[in-house]
Structure 1
Amino acid sequence: MPNNPFSENPLRCRSDVLAAVHQLFEPLLPHFSASGARVRLSSMSAHFDQAAAELEGFARPLWGIVPLTVGEGAFDHWALYREGLKNGTDPDHPEYWGDVSDIDQRQVELAAIGLALRLARAEIWGPLEDTAKRNVAAYLKSGRDREFVNSNWKFFRVMVDLGLEHCGVPVDASMREAYLDDIDGFYMGEGWSRDGPIRSADHYIPFAFHYYGLIYAVLSGDEARAERYKARAAAFARSIRHWYAEDGAALPFGRSLTYRFAHAGFWGALAFAGVEALPWGEIKGYYLRNLRWWARQPMFERDGVLSVGFSYPNLLMSEGYNSAGSPYWAMKAFLPLALPEDHPFWTAEEVLPKKSADPVVLPEAGMVMQNLPGHTVALTSGQYYARWRGTPEKYAKFAYSTRYGFSNEANERHFPSAATDNMISFSSDGLHFRIRETCEDAEYAGNVLYSRWSPMDDVMVESWIYPEGPWHVRLHEIMTARPLEVAEGGFAIAKPDFKAWQEGCGDGLAQVATRSDVSAVKAYDDRTPLVLSPLSNTNIINARSLVPQLRGTIQPGKTVLACAVLAQKGGMDTALPPAPARPDVTALRELIRREGKVVPVFDLNHRAQ
């Protein structure tokens, strides 16, 4: 697309990645304020005040600019950043960023300034006059001394401290140590952490916990924690690689997906910390393939500024803490530019590792990964994050795909148009509907995931899901006190122009095929198959989509519903592989009773041994 700054960038070597920082940053220059302290990209709003949003626009590019500078790349706008830093921290200046309170968005953005003070002190701190230095130090100290969210936010105090202490500004180190101890309390094992006392494990693990932890390991001099953080990151690399498909796409799962390729910063952070968790060629491959995948997405506004959205501009999938500057956390991906050209991360040849033909269980996250032709699928037991828009869709669907993404329901008051992709939904009035949000129980046994959940007060659902070749199988035992309409969907595929698709519905099979994709759901019960075109902009990858569904009605009492689901690259003439055998609810129940283990992220009392 003509507005894509990456359109001519092959993203295959260090010089390409260095150029990408400039290509992302330059469209921001017209949006800097007169005194340099604020960057306003849009009139859209987050839940925090506009001054904090404009600080976000100012600070987040530093995640890429600082490593570029450390790696001796030329950056022509340090004077602008010094001017902005001076004015933003001056209480008497019109562009002052505002006082910092407890749990304040400003604390998030100060972490990038902390990194700049630590790694680019000569550019952003050294030339400042003494009065400006005092203001900067006082402002950062006022932020780090406040309380932070009990989550990955606790690393922000750590990042600020690294910068302040490097500039000779003393801080209360005991406050930092307390937060580092708290962060250790979130650790579940095998590299996985929950983001605070909540039932979710998502991309915050790579682009927050390990990212900051590895920076701390390199820059702090804290040898004990450095070794611990490096070991955890190495273990995590061996797990999280299964979230990546051969084309470079990473699994769209959880919140904050508008940060785009920020999670690729994990691979760069491994290199920054010298952690060869996998051969360097494999690490580099995961990193660069992901950047190239993103470069192919229409994610920019007309002026080349990153939009809020995922593959395309889409406010429907955003969270309340997303301002127009939020997507520039993607600049975290550029940390390895701090390394010289002769570092083995940069000199290694990209390697495409052989994917496992068998499903891979990731117990900590409650996932079973399927490495399928054309995409990677995560089957999930169900996680939970309560607060933000669309979190049931982002955490609690039965399956997520690197190729087909997932859909956020755009209208929860119109059951007939509900996408219900990779989910079963229930309606008692034919209009409003409910899906899985949180679970009362979540377990796994081998490749089988189990959950018990209640979409309504008088409805209880037990669900089992497991892989079977290129398919996955779902079985639900439902106890309800009232009649319900039900809808269950497969994967949402892109809806082409000119009605260039074919539908096949009959004998319990709903199938839709385009020139590039096939999606199908096969019922083992008497539900009616159909193909639905959901409301536009519900799917995070494809703005228009088609979903095969099964719809029907269940009566009070116990009902068992089951289906098999598949999606794959292919054309309209592609024959579906044989569907799996009908699942046996008695055998599945006995398996979980005999071998079931509680999913660690679901168990808030679980801690790594």
Structure 2
Amino acid sequence: MTYDPVTANPLHGNPLRTRADVEKALHDLFNPLLPFFSEGGARVRLDGAAAHFDRAAADLEGFARPLWGVTPLAAGGGAFDHWELYRRGLANGTDPDHPEYWGQVNSTDQRMVELAAIGFTMRLLPHLVWEPLEQRAKDNLAAYLKHARQFDFADNNWKFFRILVDLGLQECGVEFDRSLTEKYLGELDGFYLGDGWYRDGNIRRIDHYIPFAMHFYGLIYAKLARGDDKRVAAYKERARLFAKDIRHWFDEDGGTLAFGRSLTYRFACGGFWGALAFADVEALPWGEIKGQFMRHLRWWADKPMANRDGILSIGYGYPNLFMSESYNSAGSPYWALKAFLPLALPDDHPFWTAEEAPAVTSHEPVPLRHPGMVMMHTDRNVVALASGQQNWQMRHGTEKYAKFVYASRYGFSVEADERAYHQGAFDGALAFSDDGRHYRVRETNEVARIAGNTLFGRWKPWSDVDVETWLIPANPWHIRVHRITTPRALHATEGGFAIGRADMNADTYIDEIGRAVAKSKTDVSAIIDLGGLREGRAHRALPNTNLIVSKTIVPQLRGEIAAGTTVLVTAAMALPAGPSAEAALGRVPQAPDIADLEALFAREGVDVSAILVPERF
């Protein structure tokens, strides 16, 4: 029988309309893990791929991450038949004399991350995971958590992990040094920027860790903390502000902006909506919050994201190690179960009783100063024009943070070969080569500013080459203006949006002077040269480079850049196939005047928040 990767998806066929549907989805996601629990219950090993941390930590990750889903399920009265397995695992994993011992934390360690789920479970379900343990197991578990929490956690969202452990210790009556809790709560406030936005540490990076980590954990704290009313109120108010912005990272189908690191956590991106419900924060009407949550789960139901046995893969829309991080083990994707937090709520909670409301979208652009984006809702898609953030620590950090444009429907691509310039996808990017083999793209900005609905960045692909880039929305198109100053001749390739490619070349490719267009059965993507005669190429990108689909076409513009100063003006768009897409091809926007853009930024330009942190090398 032919393997069907879609039906291997545990969400396949689930309508995902009701609380019962969401419960079923959780069980269907968890059950494939059962054969992979170790005999002692403390470790879950799903394949042989490695992360940068040791195998014991990876096995703990596989054990702990499902707790983000099954703990709310049980807290809300749902049935889960495997608590004895988890109790056995907690006892053995924290027993230094047991062969499945997780290993001692002695510095910043991946184990710290996974202990947060255990602390969360101890806080919500002490009667299931703490009280039934024998005294020796209680002593070992308490000692393990207390030992780990004394070390420095990473200077970012990790600081919440100590706080979640502390919530569990407190609930179980274990004494600990509470000054360490207060220290991290204060330091987390130092990451807050205003208007509901945080940064994930003191770095040039504002990504999905803001909704699915900073706010997610903050809202859990707001629900479960005792005696910290001022901070609880602050967390709730920040979430209310944030919801009005982050809803523009989600499209009308439930897809979310593909941007940044850790996208293998998939529907964890919808965890923010569930956390609002968990904390009883009606930041938007309940129907809208529920609609965002349910649509996001449904968006994943037809993606070939699982392996044959129903185990979630490393990847995004399909199994893909190219896009993974060095800290992704086979258990990493199960942070997706953070989305199931609303199962802790009773059936009569207004989140569950509300009728789903459609997404709030607007044809007008939505500027977001803090992440340095201008959002555009197009048909079944959301587009982010991006000023360019910085992440040199992550694999493919440039592609994940520094492209000019990102989208929910079309994702983005990572490059497969840094020594194959003519094979590069370069979607949403401008690449230069001085030897026809190697290439440079934007990796960071010297300046990143926003003025109204327009973005500006100044960047250097080489130390002697300067590029100024303006990004302007023209829905469904967007315009890019690049002023390039170089002492030597270069070759340049600029890419539009990547769309799915059919087998047997059953697509339409238009390669012309000044434009390239790709048409598939489902989508149309185009890139137009508004100011010159670059050659158009509908490029068949290398396989497994795009996050959402494994084979893509990327319209590109290619040409020589002479020594001196050159101005390139580009329009790009992608839409679902149909009359609207064909009509848009006939309504190409006009090139703007650089003098007008410079005047705009002289009057109104302000620095993007993401750039206002010193670089770290």
With the length of structure 2 as denominator, give the TM-score of the two structures.
Answer: 0.97
* Structure 1 counterpart of 2:449, from 403, 425, 443: 443
Is the 2:56–2:103 contact (alpha carbons within 8 Å) kept by the matching residues of 1?
Answer: yes
Distance 1:77 1:305 in 2: 18
Give the superposition deviation at 1:306: 0.2
Give the superposition deviation at 1:571: 4.5
Residue 286 of structure 1 pairs with residue 295 of structure 2: no
Give the superposition deviation at 1:191: 1.1
* Corresponding residue number in structure 1 for 2:603: 594
* Structure 2 counterpart of 1:530, from 504, 525, 537: 537
Distance 1:240 1:419 in 2: 28
* Corresponding residue number in structure 1 for 2:429: 423
* Corresponding residue number in structure 2 for 1:24: 29
Residue 210 of structure 1 pairs with residue 219 of structure 2: no
Distance 1:13 1:582 in 2: 48
Is the 1:281–1:351 contact (alpha carbons within 8 Å) kept by the matching residues of 2?
Answer: yes
Give the superposition deviation at 1:497: 1.5
Distance 2:9 2:607 in 1: 45
Give the superposition deviation at 1:527: 1.1
* Corresponding residue number in structure 2 for 1:565: 572
* Corresponding residue number in structure 2 for 1:541: 548
Any unmatched runs of 5+ in structure 2?
1-5
* Corresponding residue number in structure 1 for 2:40: 35
Give the superposition deviation at 1:99: 0.6
Amino acid at match of 2:582: T
Deviations 1:195-237 (Å, cap 9, x if unpaired)? Answer: 1011111110111111110111111121110000000001111
* Corresponding residue number in structure 2 for 1:554: 561
Matched length: 606
Distance 2:203 2:103 in 1: 31
* Corresponding residue number in structure 2 for 1:398: 404
* Corresponding residue number in structure 1 for 2:364: 358
* Structure 1 counterpart of 2:508, from 474, 486, 502: 502
Give the superposition deviation at 1:126: 0.8
Is the 1:515–1:571 contact (alpha carbons within 8 Å) kept by the matching residues of 2?
Answer: no
Amino acid at match of 1:599: V
Any unmatched runs of 5+ in structure 1?
none
Distance 2:144 2:160 in 1: 18
Give the superposition deviation at 1:162: 0.2
Give the superposition deviation at 1:500: 1.4
SS in 2 for 1:365: coil
Is the 2:11–2:300 contact (alpha carbons within 8 Å) kept by the matching residues of 1?
Answer: no
Give the superposition deviation at 1:6: 1.6
* Structure 2 counterpart of 1:4, from 9, 21, 27: 9
Distance 2:215 2:591 in 1: 42
Residue 196 of structure 1 pairs with residue 205 of structure 2: no
Alpha-carbon RMSD across the aligned residues, in angstroms, is: 1.2
Distance 1:542 1:8 in 2: 20
Residue 54 of structure 1 pairs with residue 62 of structure 2: no
SS in 2 for 1:300: coil
Is the 1:252–1:400 contact (alpha carbons within 8 Å) kept by the matching residues of 2?
Answer: yes
Give the superposition deviation at 1:258: 0.2
Is the 1:188–1:601 contact (alpha carbons within 8 Å) kept by the matching residues of 2?
Answer: no
* Structure 1 counterpart of 2:146, from 129, 135, 141: 141
* Corresponding residue number in structure 2 for 1:474: 480
564-573 or 342-351, which deviates more: 564-573
Give the superposition deviation at 1:115: 0.5
Give the superposition deviation at 1:598: 0.1
Q: Residues 117 and 354 of structure 1: is their aligned pair in 2 closer, same or farther, counting only changes over 3 Å?
A: closer
Percentage identity across aligned positions?
57
Deviations 1:307-349 (Å, cap 9, x if unpaired)? Answer: 0000000000000000000000001001110000000000000
* Corresponding residue number in structure 2 for 1:123: 128
591-600 or 438-447, which deviates more: 591-600
Distance 2:173 2:254 in 1: 42
* Corresponding residue number in structure 2 for 1:408: 414
Give the superposition deviation at 1:85: 0.4
> Within 5 Å, which residues of 2 pair with 1:503-518?
503-518=509-524
Deviations 1:161-188 (Å, cap 9, x if unpaired)? Answer: 0000110111111111111111101111
Residue 73 of structure 1 pairs with residue 78 of structure 2: yes
* Corresponding residue number in structure 1 for 2:274: 268
Distance 1:2 1:254 in 2: 28
Deviations 1:2-34 (Å, cap 9, x if unpaired)? Answer: 312222311111111111111111000000011
Amino acid at match of 1:408: V
Distance 1:565 1:553 in 2: 20
SS in 2 for 1:160: helix
Deviations 1:61-108 (Å, cap 9, x if unpaired)? Answer: 000010000001111000000000000000010000001022100000
Deviations 1:287-306 (Å, cap 9, x if unpaired)? Answer: 00000001111100010000
* Corresponding residue number in structure 2 for 1:464: 470
SS in 2 for 1:478: strand
Is the 1:520–1:566 contact (alpha carbons within 8 Å) kept by the matching residues of 2?
Answer: yes
* Structure 1 counterpart of 2:163, from 150, 153, 158: 158
* Corresponding residue number in structure 2 for 1:96: 101
Distance 1:355 1:594 in 2: 29
396-405 or 497-506, which deviates more: 497-506
* Structure 2 counterpart of 1:223, from 198, 206, 229: 229
SS in 1 for 2:442: coil
SS in 2 for 1:474: strand
* Structure 1 counterpart of 2:243, from 230, 237, 243: 237
213-222 or 56-65, which deviates more: 213-222
Q: Post-superposition, which runs of at least 4 consecutive aligned residues in structure 1 deviate over 3 A?
A: none
Distance 1:368 1:257 in 2: 21
* Corresponding residue number in structure 1 for 2:3: none
Amino acid at match of 1:579: V
With the length of structure 1 as denominator, give the TM-score of the two structures.
Answer: 0.98
Is the 2:416–2:542 contact (alpha carbons within 8 Å) kept by the matching residues of 1?
Answer: yes
SS in 1 for 2:610: coil
> Within 5 Å, which residues of 2 pair with 1:244-259?
244-259=250-265
Amino acid at match of 2:568: L
Is the 1:421–1:491 contact (alpha carbons within 8 Å) kept by the matching residues of 2?
Answer: yes
